């Protein structure tokens, strides 16, 4: 009668088989994990923590999908704005100041016709070259007043007298007149903010010289 002996695996063989099983199972799991696609991911389950830094770039972002809510405060600088991209509708009304304008950036074409007033002009900014010939009419000038001044002149003597315009007015013309014939005018001209009259008395008696000045109100006395 033939006897059958039972096979008893050694502990070393058992450990080796177990290690092989785990290795094969781990490789299969890794292969399966590497094959996860969009269908295996539940919508809305991927979070910020699941993404590596700088993992999302332009090709991963749908066109025209980024809105103002996606941008951080002060995140858009000059480098992110295309040239000529900012137009009038993008600028808030009354938001631009002098600091936003470059030197000499505003020219005549940018100024509305008839929009400048006296308050927009600096002191002494308008000279004779800025005034067209015949552009100023009497109706655009302030009232003109006349002031006079008289002095005595001895017989056979010479004398002078000046009529001075009051403060706040500007002399624009003037002249002189003696009290009687025989007094010869030697000169008449502007003198400061007034008018000078000079004459010689050829009479045998004393006389009087009178100078008068025409003064434009509202002008500067220079």
Q: Which residues contact 171 (CB under 8 A, 6 or more apart)?
A: 165, 190, 192, 193, 194, 195, 213, 214, 215, 216, 221
pLDDT in tens, 83-97: 888 888 888 988 888
Q: Mean pLDDT across the stretch 111-133?
A: 83
Q: Mean pLDDT across the stretch 137-149?
A: 86
pTM for the structure as a whole: 0.44
The pLDDT of residue 9:
67
Q: Mean pLDDT across the stretch 102-106?
A: 84
Count of residues making up the chain: 222
pLDDT in tens, 189-199: 999 999 999 99
The pLDDT of residue 77:
83
The pLDDT of residue 23:
63
pLDDT in tens, 25-61: 655 555 555 567 777 788 878 788 878 888 788 888 8
Q: Distance between CA 171 and CA 92 in Å, rounded?
A: 50
The percentage of residues in the chain with a pLDDT greater than 70, rounded to a whole number, is 82
Name the token pair of 40. 């295996």
Q: Distance between CA 192 and CA 145 in Å, rounded?
A: 17
Q: Which residues contact 176 (CB under 8 A, 6 or more apart)?
A: 161, 185, 188, 195, 197, 198, 199, 209, 210, 211, 212
pLDDT in tens, 199-210: 999 999 999 999
Cα 167–173–177 angle (5° rounding)? 105
């Amino acid at each position: 009668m033939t006897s059958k002996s039972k096979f008893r695996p050694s502990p070393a063989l058992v450990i080796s088989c177990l290690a092989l099983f785990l290795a094969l199972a781990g490789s299969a799991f890794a292969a399966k994990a590497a094959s996860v696609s969009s269908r295996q991911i539940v919508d809305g389950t991927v979070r910020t923590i699941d993404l590596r830094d700088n993992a999302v770039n332009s090709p991963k972002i749908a066109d025209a999908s980024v809105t103002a809510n996606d941008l951080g405060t002060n995140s858009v600088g000059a480098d992110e704005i295309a040239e000529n991209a900012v137009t009038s509708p993008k600028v808030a009304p009354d938001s631009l100041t002098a600091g936003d304008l470059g030197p000499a950036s505003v020219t005549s074409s940018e100024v509305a016709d008839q929009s400048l007033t006296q308050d927009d002009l600096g002191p002494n900014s308008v000279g004779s070259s800025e005034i067209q010939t015949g552009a100023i009419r009497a109706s655009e000038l302030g009232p003109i007043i006349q002031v006079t001044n008289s002095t005595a002149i001895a017989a056979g003597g010479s004398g002078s007298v000046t009529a001075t315009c009051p403060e706040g007015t500007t002399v624009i013309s003037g002249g002189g007149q003696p009290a009687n014939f025989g007094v010869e005018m030697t000169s008449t001209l502007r003198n400061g903010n007034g008018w000078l009259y000079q004459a010689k008395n050829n009479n045998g008696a004393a006389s009087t010289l009178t100078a008068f000045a025409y003064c434009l109100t509202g002008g500067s006395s220079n």
